[in-house]
Amino acid sequence: MIERGLAVRGPRSLLRQIREALAGGGPAQGRLDKVVQIIAVSMVAEVCSLYLRRASSDMELFATEGLKPEAVHVTRLKPGEGLVGEIMRLGRPINLSEAPAHPSFSYHPETGEDPYHAFLGVPLLRGGRSIGVLVVQNRTARIYEEDEVEDVQTIAMVLAEMVASGEILAAAELKDVELAPHRPERLKGMKFAEGLAIGVAVLHETPVAPEKLLADDASEEALRLARALQLLRQQIDEMLAGSHGLVGQTFEVLEAYRMFAHDRGWNRSLEEAVRSGLTAEAAVERVRSEQRARMSQARDPYLRERLHDLEDLADRLLRILAGETPGARELPEGAVLIARNLGPADLLEYDRTKLRGLLLEEGSSASHASIVARALGIPCVGRLMGLRDRVNSGDPVIVDGEIGEALLRPRTDMIEAVQARAAVRDQRRAEFDRLRDTPAFTRDGTKITLLMNAGLAVDMENLEVTGAEGIGLFRTEFQFMVAEELPRLDAQTALYERVMEAAGDRPVTFRTLDLGGDKVLPYLQAEREDNPALGWRAVRMGLDRPALLRMQLRALIAAAKGRELRVMFPLVATVEEFRAARALVDKEIAWAQRRGRPIPAKVRVGVMIETPALIWHLDALLPMTDFISVGTNDLMQYLFAADRGNPRVSDRYDLLSPPALRALKTIGDACADTGTPVSVCGEMAGRPLEAFALVSLGFTRLSMPPAGVGPVKAMVLSLDGGAARRGFTSVLKSAAGSVRNEIETLARKLNVAV
């Protein structure tokens, strides 16, 4: 049986030997050779080799003990070649008893590795990226034991930091070794909020890099880690209990946090890393890198999504170890925020005067962060795979929210091209500004009312800027999502008063709380649901918890005092639900009258058409309502049974398809027959081509994000409504899955500015 020197002396002893060898001076190659020799002796390995990745992505043999020395700097492996390439691709160890029998084995005769059978290779991970591979080999065919693998991983982690910091090789000696991304890259994603931005990358919740890797006192580090883990679990338990709300985080994410924070495997990995001689901070980084490399390769989308939870968990634990408390963060001028994902309150914590753009590795156009970004006019691109591993803090970046791309470390010509496009965009914006006070009439005289969507008090500034004629949708739940506890009656009333005062004589339509689904608050108790989008949410929650809904209605009534109050209920699926909701409005009006409180001059109660069921019960619904608002975001995802937040299915349907357009026409025709005012307040109302379709279908009230008002008004002013309606007749009869191309052709034929 082979006696293992490392098992006796421990990783700390080995790492000290490595540091002493590096401090001894002499040529860089000689010091590097000494390092692999020390590792080989300590591991009782006959071969120890270090490969580093060049900027070309080739893996180069930089040092070896046991293979032929003349192979150093000569042996190079192409990307994905051999076992070393496979380790780089997978980002995890490979442990084999018969390496030559493996299908990925690549033989290089100049190395002289013919006699060696046992093979253990681990990646040098830095920031989740593999920058090299450390290999040990033996003649005897055997599988290396689990603790041996962990020891080599610990060594590889420290070597990665040493290489990156220049302790092993000076900058000149590293030449083109790719320690971090440095070449220009173009990443294709999805546009979440339109616009163009050029700035510098700022990583959201950047991991606190451990300054000290080796522990002086292993028992003290174990105690520090135990205390930090206990505090971490306590914080998360408090969030879920409602005593300490974490703004912008959903119940599902918090549950995942708690699950991982209490996970025995995660805790045990951290404890073992500390026992190996690392500081608590270095242990967190090692375990994080291993998890990131492993889970990023997972095929299961659920597991890949959980990587975000693990990242945030590790960040929070590092902050606790550093004695910090997560909170508001400063930004440099011209910052572009880089994140895997983001909650709405997380985005609001940053100084919006310095924030130029937002790039997300995950997310969706319907996510809360995307909605907030659009409301604040911040260009945002998401679904950028591998973003965080391809960008460094301080890198120049471009957010292209027009075509859904991110340009990392762009060349000068790329920057100039985007600046030219931005100048054109500014000119168009100037044209839209000139149209601000121009009424939106079609060329044949039909008035189109253009309204704005809002959800934050700051949004009201955009009324004057855009020239919108009112607020067609005020999302009241945002106030609840950015609060650490349930907003009280007076706080709700104060917000609604500010909104109405800012609107002046322009109408404001308040949507009651649309909570549930992906908007469950940490301070409200809720049960996990298998399908929350179809579960207990919106008006259903309000009717089942009437105290919550009645408090909001009471605040709205108090805030109106003499003004017109427009209130509508979301996700109504049956006529009975609307009848019950409207009865609560009547009760609150009566409550205020009995106490002599001021009441609105007029109350108009509407309903959002978001469930397909109501389309076939409009004859019973419309006589009960004062107005209708079509929420195309939810209506279409339910119509097509495709989650709009799931990138795998969200593009399976087109809003400009015959089924979608026929459903909208059915609603519009029914409202026209009964004289019921109707508006469209989904995202499609703010895009010129889609808005062209809506006007052609007969809709004359559109509510949209602020950025959409100018472009849609320009479209309306160029449109002959009668000609558009006549041209649309054939479009609706199409058997195609999408009629987008036909609508674009019709718009060009009619010279419509889309």
Tokens of 435: 């149209």
Order the strands of the 405-408 sheet from edge to edge: 185-188, 405-408, 396-400, 196-203, 335-339, 355-360, 380-382, 190-193
- Contact criterion met (CB below 8 Å) for 236 and 228: no
- Catalytic (active site) residue 671: no
Among the options 48, 380, 671, 681, which is catalytic? Answer: 681
Length of the chain: 754
> How buried is 231 (Cβ within 10 angstroms: 0-12 exposed, 13-18 middle, 19+ buried)?
middle
The H or E element that residue 704 is part of is: strand 701-704
DSSP string, 57-80: S-EEEEEEESS-GGGTTT-EE-TT
Listed residue (45, 126, 116) closest to 88, CA to CA: 126
- Contact criterion met (CB below 8 Å) for 366 and 190: no
State residue 739 phi and psi, 5-degree precision. Answer: -115, 25
Sign of CA dihedral 538, 540, 541, 543: positive
* Residue 702, strand partner residues: 450, 680
- The 8-class DSSP code of residue 111 comes to G
* Residue 710, strand partner residues: none
Q: Report the Cα 584 to chain-centroid distance in Å.
A: 37
- Contact criterion met (CB below 8 Å) for 190 and 65: no
The H or E element that residue 660 is part of is: helix 658-674
- Contact criterion met (CB below 8 Å) for 380 and 370: yes
Tell me the C-alpha distance between 38 and 46, whole Å. Answer: 11
**Left (φ > 0), alpha (ψ -120 to 50) or beta: where does 678 sit?**
beta
Mode of pairing for the β-strands spanning 471-475 and 76-77: unpaired
Tell me the C-alpha distance between 732 and 739, whole Å. Answer: 8
**Left (φ > 0), alpha (ψ -120 to 50) or beta: where does 505 sit?**
alpha
Cα–Cα distances in angstroms (integers) from residue 649 to residues 364, 643, 653, in the given order: 12, 7, 8
Tokens of 245: 């709300």
- Catalytic (active site) residue 380: no
Tokens of 433: 């500004």
Tell me the C-alpha distance between 524 and 74, whole Å. Answer: 63
Q: Report the Cα 149 to chain-centroid distance in Å.
A: 34
- Contact criterion met (CB below 8 Å) for 680 and 691: no
* Residue 602, strand partner residues: 564
Mode of pairing for the β-strands spanning 678-680 and 355-360: unpaired
- Contact criterion met (CB below 8 Å) for 336 and 201: yes
One-letter amino acid at 38 equals I
Among the options 117, 368, 380, 671, which is catalytic? Answer: 368
485: Cβ contacts below 8 Å, ≥ 6 apart: 242, 245, 523
- Count CA atoms closer than 13 A to 154's CA, side-chain side: 32
The SS3 call for residue 328 is: coil
* Residue 537, strand partner residues: none
- Contact criterion met (CB below 8 Å) for 656 and 743: yes
* The residue to which tokens 């999408």 are assigned: 738
Catalytically active residues are 368, 681
